[in-house]
Amino acid sequence: MRSILLTLLLFIVSGCSSMKIEDYASFTPRFDLFQYFQGNTRGWGVFQDRGGALKRQFVVDINGVIDNNGELVMTENFVWNDGEKSQRIWRIRKTDEHHYTGRADDVVGEAKGVTYGNALNWAYDLKLPVDGKVWQVSFDDWMYMQPDGVMLNRAKMSKFGITLGEVTISFQKR
């Protein structure tokens, strides 16, 4: 009985390993955030609650330009399936070969990004309007460059360490 419990515990613990961005160093095509989002890009996305139920869908049109300070300025225009429209403007700076920082009006502090190979991982807190209130939620955002200019994005949203839901987006250069 004891060996069964130990085996079960080892199985559970091994299933809890976290992803490491460095594990993607050899994956291709290489993801260059500035190159990919410069110009026009469109994304199609969904938000699912923690049980997996689809709650909202959206289309986002992004225009990216590199300003005189060397920052990528990304203007995101969202149209939600319930007719709501919203906009977020990111200002992103590359700090070294693998690291980025980003700011937006609804981001608390700075977003931190790390990239290796075909992957980028963003971590940030967002002020999210919910039923007339504003919640501060955390995002663990993973982007994966694919062939033919497609990029897949999966983000887990949480509050106090409890998963609230996931956002999945497919991007295509225009």
28 — phi, psi (to 5°)? -130, 160
Looking at residue 5, its pLDDT comes to: 40
- Its pTM stands at 0.86
Interval 59-110: pLDDT, tens: 999 999 999 999 999 999 999 999 999 999 999 999 999 999 999 999 999 9
Which segments of 10-161 are extended strands (E)?
A: 39-49, 54-66, 72-80, 85-94, 99-103, 107-116, 119-130, 133-145, 150-159
Looking at residue 82, its pLDDT comes to: 95
DSSP annotation of 3 reads H
Q: Which residues of the chain have pLDDT under 70?
A: 1-17
SS3 at position 51: coil
Asked if 79 and 85 touch (Cβ cutoff 8 Å), the reply is yes
Structural domains of the chain, ranges and CATH numbers in brackets: 30-173 (2.40.128.20)
Looking at residue 17, its pLDDT comes to: 46
Enter the tokens of residue 165. 């839901």
